[in-house]
């Protein structure tokens, strides 16, 4: 919907202008709610009650930054190589298993990185089946009798996180390769350019913006990770927030670390956008022939199959198999608290997904309809919520809410003489708010793209027939974007189910993710297995929907 069309729709008369103001105010209010936690974090960092910034600079902050930087670089490099290589093979070549591998490569998205960490340690640690079998086979008595790589290390965390997140790069890069014209590759082949030359001179430059976008998402998710790095005892900026605030009780110091994370994220997003702006490649709009896969034969075909199979085995088959083997015990499914945790998860994550989608549609529609500059400026800023780690958002939500909760409790005590305690802090509503802020960018981006595909003539016709803006949205826009809304609703729900840092900091009761974390922290993998398997099952449903939508 263009600005001119929005003005036509929004100004048929004086009553319509009043409605437009309501849409504009509503969109502005939603944007402020989404941005408020980040503003609160910056405020706490600039106004600490006890400034420990010099102490952080001398002691822990360099270690946090180093570990976080190495994790981001390692996972970015690993996922960039794996995702790009697999995307290139499944688009450009035909080999055994290609038909199912191109969809199976998305399956690791269903497995949270912290579940993969628990499975890897359980399989390869000293008491795990691999080392136990080696000792029994060769007669080794202790770990001093043989060498085995350490599992709980920074580089193991890179492998686990990378195995879980490479599908982001694969999905975007595969789409970029598929959208390229086959004529360029045919010309390069006719000129005698080999496979490596066609990849380096034709395919890679054209797909570079997609690769950069996927790697940027991976690196932001790496910063957000808490369960994996905490289990592997790798101190990062996110674990530093937990340590400084929850263990040290210093809000200002935690907020200052959170601002470092926000700075890293903003720099990362800025670099990614600049890299795409510098690299502009376009294919002709007419007579674009799709890329025709070339059949591989002999050992080359099987090498391609192995290359595409390994990420699926490491990222999905291995962790799910290990977790499923522990979940075979029926008694664990009847363990106290599992049913309650699953019920809470479904209610909280379902509510957050619905509110995020409704808020995204309302804000995009209201911004387009009003044509006001302020909502248009705030619209892209709301995407920072997705880039900000859950721990940062939790810090920005919990502290102001706790202050409000205390004043509310004092007011109730003064009026009724009864102390109600903290009524909002630690409640499900706070977690729902955090999830909405965290994943608002997904719904807002999908709504913006879906509404942009609707011809302007349809809402104009509805308005000319006397329909209000709300009626036009309900009767014209919503039916046309229902498929996109349904997809983003499920994806938001699944992301909320997997979210760990914000849930740990904000909610006093168990959800599936916090139950998995609590059990695994006590080395009770069998107790964590049922909840972890449910999370993977929910994630797999979203992956199947994603695969269907990208055929």
Closest alpha carbon to 201 in 172, 218, 180, 216 = 180
Quick one: CA dihedral 219, 435, 230, 337, positive or negative? Answer: negative
φ, ψ of residue 465 to 5 degrees: the values are -90, 10
State yes or no: pLDDT of 484 exceeds 80.
Answer: no
DSSP of 311-354, one letter per residue?
HHIIIIIHHHHHHHHHTT-HHHHT-TTHHHHHHHHHHHHHHHHH
Token code pair at residue 518: 């609590």
Contact present, 420 and 409 (Cβ < 8 Å) = yes
Contact present, 443 and 360 (Cβ < 8 Å) = yes
Residue 418 backbone zone (phi > 0: left; psi -120 to 50: alpha; other: beta)? beta
Which residues, 6+ apart, have CB-to-CB distance to 373 below 8 Å? none
Please give the average per-residue pLDDT across 476-502, as a whole number. 84
Residue 285, pLDDT score: 46
Token code pair at residue 235: 């101190």
State yes or no: pLDDT of 471 exceeds 70.
Answer: yes
Please give the average per-residue pLDDT across 528-537, as a whole number. 93
Higher-confidence residue: 531 or 383? 531
Which residues, 6+ apart, have CB-to-CB distance to 163 below 8 Å? 108, 116, 311, 314, 315
Residue 14, pLDDT score: 43
Please give the average per-residue pLDDT across 176-202, as a whole number. 73
Contact present, 433 and 346 (Cβ < 8 Å) = no
Eight-state DSSP code of residue 28: H
Alpha helix (H) residue ranges in 232-337: 237-241, 251-278, 298-312, 318-326, 330-333
CA dist 25 and 30 (Å) reads 9
Residue 90, pLDDT score: 93
Contact present, 514 and 504 (Cβ < 8 Å) = yes
Percent of the chain scored above 70 by pLDDT? 89
- How do residues 318-367 score in pLDDT, each as one tens digit? 999 999 999 887 677 888 889 999 999 999 999 999 999 998 888 888 88
**Burial class of residue 522 in the structure, from the number of CB atoms within 10 Å of its CB (0-12 exposed, 13-18 middle, 19+ buried):** exposed
Angle at 237 between CA 236 and CA 238, to 5 degrees: 90
Residue 524 backbone zone (phi > 0: left; psi -120 to 50: alpha; other: beta)? beta
Please give the average per-residue pLDDT across 42-71, as a whole number. 88
Token code pair at residue 450: 């879906």
Please give the average per-residue pLDDT across 193-213, as a whole number. 79
Which residues, 6+ apart, have CB-to-CB distance to 246 below 8 Å? 505
CA dist 530 and 525 (Å) reads 9
Higher-confidence residue: 201 or 141? 141
Task: Give the N- to C-terminal CA distance of the chain in Å, as an integer.
Answer: 28
Token code pair at residue 284: 């002709």
CA dist 102 and 59 (Å) reads 47
Token code pair at residue 483: 């498929």
State yes or no: pLDDT of 98 exceeds 80.
Answer: yes
Please give the average per-residue pLDDT across 374-384, as a whole number. 73
Fold held by 49-337+510-551: MetI-like fold (1.10.3720)
Helix or strand run (H / E) with residue 215: helix 204-224
State yes or no: pLDDT of 496 exceeds 70.
Answer: yes
Burial 468-478, CB ≥16 within 10 A → b, else e: ebeebbeebbe
CA dist 80 and 215 (Å) reads 6
Residue 487, pLDDT score: 78
State yes or no: pLDDT of 12 exceeds 50.
Answer: no
Give me the chain's average pLDDT, please.
83
Contact present, 169 and 80 (Cβ < 8 Å) = yes
Please give the average per-residue pLDDT across 249-261, as a whole number. 86
State yes or no: pLDDT of 159 exceeds 90.
Answer: yes
State yes or no: pLDDT of 297 exceeds 80.
Answer: yes
Please give the average per-residue pLDDT across 418-431, as a whole number. 78
3-state secondary structure 52-96: CHHHHHHCCHHHHHHHHHHHHHHHHHHHHHHHHHHHHHHHHEECC
Residue position matching structure tokens 């995407």 = 383
Q: Is 295 helix (H, G, I), strand (E, B) or coil?
A: strand
pLDDT-derived band at 2 (thresholds 50, 70, 90) equals very low
Contact present, 105 and 248 (Cβ < 8 Å) = no
Contact present, 112 and 345 (Cβ < 8 Å) = no
- How do residues 30-51 score in pLDDT, each as one tens digit? 888 888 888 888 888 888 877 7
Token code pair at residue 257: 């670390």
């Amino acid at each position: 919907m263009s600005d001119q069309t929005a003005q036509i729709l929004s100004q048929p008369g004086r009553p319509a202008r009043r409605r437009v103001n309501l849409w504009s105010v509503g969109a502005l209010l939603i944007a402020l709610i989404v941005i408020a936690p980040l503003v609160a974090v910056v405020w706490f960092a600039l106004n600490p009650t006890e400034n420990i910034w010099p102490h952080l600079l001398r002691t822990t902050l360099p270690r946090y930054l180093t570990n976080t930087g190495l994790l981001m670089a390692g996972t970015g490099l690993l996922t960039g190589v794996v995702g790009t290589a697999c995307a290139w093979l499944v688009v450009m070549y035909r080999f055994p298993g290609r038909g199912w591998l191109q969809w199976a490569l998305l399956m690791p998205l269903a497995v949270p990185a912290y579940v993969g960490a628990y499975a890897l340690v359980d399989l390869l640690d000293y008491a795990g089946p691999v080392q136990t079998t080696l000792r029994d086979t060769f007669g080794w008595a202790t770990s001093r009798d043989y060498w085995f790589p350490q599992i709980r290390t920074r580089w193991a965390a890179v492998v686990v996180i990378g195995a879980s997140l490479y599908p982001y790069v694969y999905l975007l890069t595969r789409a970029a390769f598929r959208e390229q014209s086959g004529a360029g590759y045919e010309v390069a082949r006719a000129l005698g350019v080999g496979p490596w030359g066609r990849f380096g001179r034709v395919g890679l430059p054209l797909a570079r913006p997609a690769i950069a976008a996927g790697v940027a998402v991976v690196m932001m998710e790496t910063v957000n990770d808490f369960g994996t790095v905490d289990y592997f005892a790798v101190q990062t900026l996110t674990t530093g927030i937990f340590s400084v605030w929850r263990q040290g009780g210093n809000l200002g110091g935690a907020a200052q670390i959170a601002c470092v994370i926000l700075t890293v994220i903003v720099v990362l997003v800025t670099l990614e956008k600049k890299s795409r702006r510098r690299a502009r490649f376009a294919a002709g709009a007419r007579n674009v022939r799709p890329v025709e896969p070339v059949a591989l034969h002999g050992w080359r075909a099987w090498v391609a199959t192995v290359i595409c199979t390994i990420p699926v085995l490491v990222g999905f088959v291995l962790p799910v198999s290990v977790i499923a083997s522990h979940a075979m015990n029926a008694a664990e499914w009847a363990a106290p608290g599992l049913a309650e945790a699953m019920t809470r998860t479904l209610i909280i994550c379902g509510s957050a997904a619905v509110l995020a989608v409704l808020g995204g549609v309302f804000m995009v529609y209201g911004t387009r309809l009003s044509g006001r500059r302020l909502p248009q400026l705030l619209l892209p800023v709301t995407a920072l919520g997705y880039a900000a780690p859950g721990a940062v958002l939790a810090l920005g939500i919990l502290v102001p809410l706790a202050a409000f909760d205390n004043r509310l409790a004092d007011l109730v005590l003064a009026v009724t003489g009864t102390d109600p305690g903290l009524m909002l802090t630690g409640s499900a509503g706070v977690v729902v708010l955090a999830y909405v802020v965290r994943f608002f960018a997904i719904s807002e981006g999908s709504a913006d793209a879906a509404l942009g595909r609707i011809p302007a003539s349809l809402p104009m016709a509805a308005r000319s027939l006397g329909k209000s803006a709300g009626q036009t949205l309900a009767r014209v826009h919503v039916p046309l974007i229902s498929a996109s809304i349904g997809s983003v609703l499920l994806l938001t729900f699944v992301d909320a189910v997997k979210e760990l840092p914000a849930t740990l900091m904000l909610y006093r009761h168990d959800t599936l993710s916090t139950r998995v974390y609590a059990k695994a922290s006590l080395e009770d993998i069998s107790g964590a297995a049922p909840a972890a398997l449910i999370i993977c099952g929910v994630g797999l449903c979203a992956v199947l929907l994603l695969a269907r939508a990208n055929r």
